[in-house]
Amino acid sequence: MIQTSKSANSRRDWFGTLKVIIQALALALIIRTFFFQAFSIPSGSMKSTLLIGDHLLVAKYSYGYSRHSFPIDLLPFSGRLFSRMPRRGDVVVFKTPEDNRTDYIKRVIGLPGDEIQVVSGILHINGAAVERTQIEDFIESDTSGSPKQISRYTERLPNGVSYEVLDQAAAGPLDNTPIYRVPEGHFFMMGDNRDRSSDSRIPTGVGYVPFENLIGKAKFVFFSNGDDKPAWQIWNWPFSVRFERTFRGL
């Protein structure tokens, strides 16, 4: 009978554990790169569609793959593989053209060749005003904790996609713009919180977003934590989790 030493067993156990860890990391990398990636919302630029503290899954396969699909630009190539064009109205995560590193989330408003303009707060696409209907106000708390009302509207794009936007006044700096002509291979992005969004209306900021900068399409909110509580503080969940937003589609 062959007896195995304790040190040999220990090495075998260690290598077995290491193998499992490597396999798990490889599987996680494959899922993150080719299928889904989780993102959290740190700002209010997409209110009321997305709120601060929302955690969502983004489908990486929706528009094909670019170098930005891979962690830390692991495979530096240009263009997209298996590319598919986004639809007007999609909620998209992308890398900002300014630094190609910062993740932003906005809604696709303008496609290549479109002319986009905002006149007195009304969005115009190719010279035609987008249908907009006022609905009940959005209520949030100001810095003192008092309720604050913000005008809310339903916008309906020419392809039939509808969504809610917030727009407090028609006299803000981004409520009257020049005509933006979207270049080929680029998209025009806007936040749903029109007075609080840095987007393609600011040429020196986000500007036109190249196709290869798109990360993927936001699919649904899988977790939402309010009250400015970090998600890892699970002892706050019974009070801070917004259960009504869990598994909310986008």
Q: What pairing do the DSSP bridges indicate for beta strands 180-181 and 115-119?
A: antiparallel
> Can you spell out the DSSP letters for 13-55?
HHHHHHHHHHHHHHHHHHHHHHTEEEEE--SSTTTTTS-TTEE
> Rounded distance, CA 15 to CA 217, Å?
39
The answer to whether residue 106 is catalytic is yes
Number of Cβ within a 10 Å radius of residue 233: 10
Please identify which of the residues 47, 60, 106, 217 carries the catalytic annotation.
106
Q: Exposure string (b/e) for 29-51, b if CB count within 10 Å is 16 or more?
A: eeeebeebbebebeebbbbbbbb
Residues with Cβ within 8 Å of residue 69, at least 6 apart in sequence: 33, 34, 60, 215, 216
Chain centroid, CA 227 distance in Å = 21
Active site residue 217: no
Nearest CA to 70 out of 43, 95, 107, 90 is that of 95
Q: Which residue in 175, 176, 173 sits closest to 165, CA to CA?
A: 175
Known catalytic residues are 45, 106
